Structure formats: C-alpha cells, structure tokens
Amino acid sequence: MKERKRSPLLRLGLLAPLLLAVMTASLCLGSAGLTLQELWNCLQDPASPAYRILFYARLPRMLGGLLAGASLAVSGALLQNVLNNSLAGPNIIGVNAGAGLGALLVMAISPMAFRLMPAAAFAGALLAALFIYAVAAFTGASRTTLVLAGVAISSVINAASACIKTFFPELAIAYTSFSIGSLANVSLDQVGWAALYALPALLLALVLSHDMNILALGEETAASLGLHVNRYRFILIVLSAVLAGAAVSFGGLIGFVGLLVPHIARMLFGGDNRLVVPASALLGAAALLLCDLLGRLLFAPFELHVGIVLSVVGGIYFIFLILKRKGGRLS
Amino acid sequence: MIELRHLQTGFEGRVLSKNIDLRLEKGKMLTLIGPNGCGKTTLLRTLSGALPPLGGEVLLEGRPLHSYRRKELARKAAYLPQVREVPEITAEALVSHGRFPHLGFSRKMTARDRAAVEEAIALTGIEPLRHKNLKALSGGERQRVYLAMSIAQETDLVLLDEPGTYLDIGSRFEVMAIAKKLCDRGSAVILTLHDLSDALSFSDRLCLMDRSGRICADGSPDAVYASGLLDEVFGVAAEAVTLQDGRQQYVFLPRTSDMY
C-alpha cells in the first residue's frame, strides 16, 4: 500500500532530471553549439565569446522559458479547476489576450518602462479572467458557452491590440513576434521582474493545491465541506492572471502550454491537484524549453519563434486527444 | 439537534415552502417526500446553509444556523447534493476529503482523521473499491463512496438529497441500510426520496410536502399512509399489502383507468 502512495511522488521526482536535461540542452545547443566541457570552461573565463553568448543570450532565454512554461501551465491548471472546464486555458479564454493588450499598451506609451510590463499584463489578464468568471457565476453558463465567451472576449481584445498597432506602426515588428510568442530577445532584467510576480504566485498555487481538490468536487459539495468557494475561486483567478501576465510580459502570447500541459499532467498523475500543480510547472517548463530548442535547431541558422513550434505541436496533440476520446469528454 | 421554526424557503425571490415547523433529535431519521418542484431539495439546501432562509429560522443545537462559521458548520452538518462532480481521484482520496473541515492549516491528516476514514470505509463496505478511480465505478458504488465521505465528516446531522436516484433496487437498499447505520451511530439523518415504496419501507418518520410546499403530513409511514394524503398529493391510489412474514409493503397504482 505504501508503494501505491509513493509512486506518484516518485514519478514527479523523475520529471526533475528530464527538466535538468532540457535546461542543459537549452544552454548548449543553438547556432553556436557548446559541449558540456566548453560550457564548464566558459564559466571560468568571462572574457570568452562563449561566456557572452551564455550570459546574454542563452541563460536569459533558458530562465525565461522555465518561468514562462511553468507559469502558463500552472495558470491553465488553476483556470481549469476554477471554471471546472478542461477546455479552459489562458490563451483559449482570453486571459493571454488581456495580458497582451496590457503589455502592448506599455510598449506603445512608454517602451522603456518594461518593468511595468508584468503589472500591466497582469491587469489585462485579470480583467479578462474576471469577465469570464462573471459570465460563469451569473449565468450558470455551460462549459462550452464559457469557452465561446472566452473566444468572444479574445476577439474583442485582439481587435483592441490591432488598433494600438495601427496607431503605433513602429510597434509592428515587435508586435509580430509578441503575438506569436517568442523567447528570442528576452533579457535577464525582464525575466527577473516577471519572476518577482510569478514565483510567489507559483508557491501559493502549490500551497492551495489541496483545497483545489475540494473545489473540484463541485460548488455545493465543497461548500458543505466548509470551503469558502467564492473566496477560493477569486484567489485562484487572481493567481492565474498573475502567472499568465508574468509570462506574457516577456514571452508574448505563447499558446497551448496552459491548455495542454495540465491535461498531460492529469494523464500522468491523475486528478490530485497536489500532484497536478507541481507536475504542470515542471512539464510546462520542459515543454516550452524543448519547443524553443526545436525552433532554434530545426531550420538553423533560421530560427522559428517558440509560439510557432508550440502551435504545431500543441495543435497536433490536441487533435490526437480529441480523436483518442471520440464520443467521450476531455477530462 | 435541529429545529425549524416557521421556516420559509426559496431562492431568487421565489418562495417554495412556508411555515415549516420541525424538530429532529440525534439518532433519528426523517424522510421528506413530495411531488416534483414542491421544494424538498430547496429545504435541504437551506438546512445545509447553502441557501439563506426567506423567513423564520433554523436552530442547530439551539444556535441559529447563520451564526456558525463555515468550517464549524461543516463539522456539525454534512450535505450530500444529488448532482455532483466526479473527479479523477481514488475512492479513498474522496473519502479522505470528508475530513477537510477537521484539518488544520497544513491540511495534514492526523491519526484521528485516518481512523475516521477507515471507519467510514468499513461502514459502507467500500474496502474493495479503495484504490479504484471514481470514474471507473458504477452509480451505486460511487454513491456509497460519497456516503463514506459524508460519514468521515463525522457530523451530528447528515442531509442526503435523493440518495437513491438512478440506482438499481439492490444499490438503493444498500444506500438506505447505510443511512440507517448512520442513525444507529447517533447522527440525525434528513433525506429526500423520490421512491414512495422506499420511503414508506425504510423511514422512521415521514414528512409529506404538498405542491404548495406545505408539510401536510408528519408521522410514521403507517400514519402518513392512513391519512390518505399520499393519494391526494400524488394523484395515485396507495395500497398496503401484508406479506406472508407479516411485514407491510406499499404499492402505488394509477388512480383512474384512463391513465392506462
């Protein structure tokens, strides 16, 4: 019996070496490849070109991928729990679009104020998430209706973003990679500021993961067990918006991680959110770094934005999920 | 244990039942019956604290229900709604959730919590299902697991909304037997039932609600049957049949021949 209890934790532990391997590959591989030995050597020699590549390009990119992947995946897991809808994901229901609008406004008004980007992205994400939550709470809308409401709000927000791009044509190039989602020009400063918001939110999501299990029993059952349902839902939505906002503030509108990674986590670890939340964080980080690496290597020396790779991989995986469960429901 | 004084229930401004006066002590079972839409579920939800009373009051151990903090109330009263989510967790994990109101900030289960879970698993006979995923269980098995969760909550009052709906007859009997065991352990049990035969066969006390949400009969199954109000409220002809072993069973037939 003990073995049964330990095995999920053991499997969770197995994700750590996987992530470590992807992190190392992300530092070593690219247009200028480094062996592990060279990686170690360049750390000793700050004057070497490899050191500069590592610290100004690869390290920020790797840390950015870690943070954005973990944040978006956990954001998706939280939204799916709160809305009790496995089709919810920050990019599906408009949370990413809201975050993008906030970030774009900062880019347009004061391009140098990138420190404000996470806060602006968070504000945009929160507004979108609260709108969807209000639709869910006041209309008792079905799961499909909620997703449709998300698509509708995404469309309105994307139109607003397109307006800003029209009024500020100089943003066109930056907006293109922003709307696709890219880690190409991420700086340590940007990642550091986003981490200030995202890391405490990730920690809090882990702390609340037990109570997310109670919420998953449904509103009435959870309330009868003594959970303050509305208070918890609000906290989880704010956390989800903080996480999506932090990721979007430097990575742009990276899709699919928030929708699909929690699915994979549930497939591997079952429905216990105490495992799903940390597994989503680890798998999300690994998935984003891996897709970024693929984008760098597939057509080198040309580079594909991570958003493009994710759209292809994520889209195919999503269709696979639908085919696998034909006639059934996504859990 | 629980006392309802001139209670008026409903939601969204719509009054469903008025002037309900009831009292139930620990170790007793009360079954609410009535036609669809008469307000049975709404009454149960009001007693669970999920809906505020529209008038009158509910006293739980002499204290108004609304004066209880949410977790404090969850340690006193368990409510099992008719419609529930089916998360992808094991039966044992679900039963453990019944201990949620008793857990501290760390959410760690103590030996006492684990003992309560084991006791609930034993009482409901779900030991073989312990490690099975809820989604893989039949309706009857799932209902027993949810009942085990409510039992693990260790409350003096248990509210069950239609615990037998959608279950086959064997599973319904099992569920009713578990409700009886809960009473024997000292809990007060209030349940709603759709099946009149089950209600008359298994209950200690029946409350019949009419279409206006009023309690028109309150007493033993025999007394409620003898009042003739079952026929009137449901528009059927109820008949008591004495079995060879002397037990009384009830059958319900359409009242008019044109119903065939």
The phi-psi region of residue B103 (left if phi > 0; otherwise alpha if psi is between -120 and 50; otherwise beta) is beta
- Judged by CB atoms closer than 8 Å, whether chains meet at B131 and A221 is answered as no
ipTM attached to this prediction: 0.88
Task: Identify the residue whose tokens are 């992808």.
Answer: B88
Nearest-Cα distance to chain B for A196, in Å, is 25
CA distance B41 to B46: 8
Query: Taking CB atoms and an 8 Å cutoff, what residues of chain A touch B48?
Result: 220, 224
CA distance A269 to A264: 8
Q: Which of A281-295, A298-312, B52-66, B96-110 has the lowest mean pLDDT?
A: A298-312
Choose the closest CB to A214 out of B48, B97, B153.
B97
Which structural domain range is residue A216 located in?
A: 59-324
Q: Enter the tokens of residue A69.
A: 């992947």
Nearest-Cα distance to chain A for B114, in Å, is 14
Structural domain count, chain A: 1
Which range has highest mean pLDDT (A82-86, A126-130, A276-280, B6-10)?
A276-280
Q: Enter the tokens of residue A142.
A: 């079905």
Cα radius of gyration (chain B): 19
In this predicted structure, what is the pLDDT of residue A114? 67
In this structure, chain A runs to a length of: 331
- pLDDT higher than threshold 80 for residue A174: no
Q: Which of A2-16, A199-213, A258-272, B51-65 has the lowest mean pLDDT?
A: A2-16
Q: Phi and psi for B11 in degrees, rounded to 5? A: -155, 160
**Percentage of chain A modeled with pLDDT above 70:** 93
Run means of pLDDT, 10 residues per run, chain B, 260 residues = 90 85 92 90 93 92 92 94 87 95 91 94 92 90 92 94 84 88 91 88 89 90 87 85 83 68
Which amino acid, A26? S
Per-residue pLDDT tens over the stretch A15-67: 889 999 999 888 888 767 777 777 777 777 777 777 777 777 788 999 999 99
Chain-centroid distance, C-alpha A242: 11
Whether B109 and chain A come into contact, CB under 8 Å, resolves to no
A142: confidence class by pLDDT, cuts 50, 70, 90: low
Instruction: Give me chain A's average pLDDT, please.
Output: 84
Does residue A299 lie within any of the structural domains? Answer: yes
Q: Identify the closest residue of chain A to B159 by CA–CA distance.
A: A224
In this predicted structure, what is the pLDDT of residue A214? 94
Does residue A49 lie within any of the structural domains? Answer: no
Q: Considering only CA atoms, which of B201, B185, B207, B202 is closest in space to residue B27?
A: B185
Whether B100 and chain A come into contact, CB under 8 Å, resolves to yes
Choose the closest CB to A223 out of B50, B85, B94.
B50
Does residue A5 lie within any of the structural domains? Answer: no
CA distance B5 to B47: 12
Choose the closest CB to B100 out of A84, A225, A272.
A225
Exposure string for B137-171, b = 16+ CB within 10 A, e = fewer: beebbbbbbbbbbbbbbbbbbbbbbbbbbebeeeb
In this predicted structure, what is the pLDDT of residue A6? 56
In this predicted structure, what is the pLDDT of residue A123? 87
Q: Enter the tokens of residue A84.
A: 């009790």
Measured CA distances, A101 to A187, A244, A249, B247 (Å)? 21, 12, 10, 73
In this predicted structure, what is the pLDDT of residue A221? 92
Does residue A72 lie within any of the structural domains? Answer: yes
Whether B152 and chain A come into contact, CB under 8 Å, resolves to no
Does residue A311 lie within any of the structural domains? Answer: yes
Q: What is the 3-state secondary structure (H, E, C) of A224-239?
A: HCCCCHHHHHHHHHHH
Report the residue of A142, A225, A272 to disrupt the B interface, i.e. the one with the largest count of B CBs within 10 Å.
Answer: A225
- Judged by CB atoms closer than 8 Å, whether chains meet at A266 and B88 is answered as yes
Does residue A243 lie within any of the structural domains? Answer: yes
Does residue A329 lie within any of the structural domains? Answer: no
The residues with which B190 forms a beta bridge, in sequence order, are: B30, B159
CATH number of residue A263's parent domain: 1.10.3470.10
Does residue A51 lie within any of the structural domains? Answer: no
Whether B131 and chain A come into contact, CB under 8 Å, resolves to yes
Residues sharing a CB contact under 8 Å with residue B112, sequence separation 6 or more, in sequence order: B102
Task: Identify the residue whose tokens are 């084991």.
Answer: B118
- pLDDT higher than threshold 50 for residue A137: yes
Which range has highest mean pLDDT (A73-77, A178-182, A317-321, B231-235)?
A73-77
CA distance B52 to B155: 21
The residues with which B78 forms a beta bridge, in sequence order, are: B158
DSSP per-residue string spanning A309-329: HHHHHHHHHHHHHHHHTTTS-
Answer yes or no: are the C-beta atoms of B206 and B175 closer than 8 Å: no
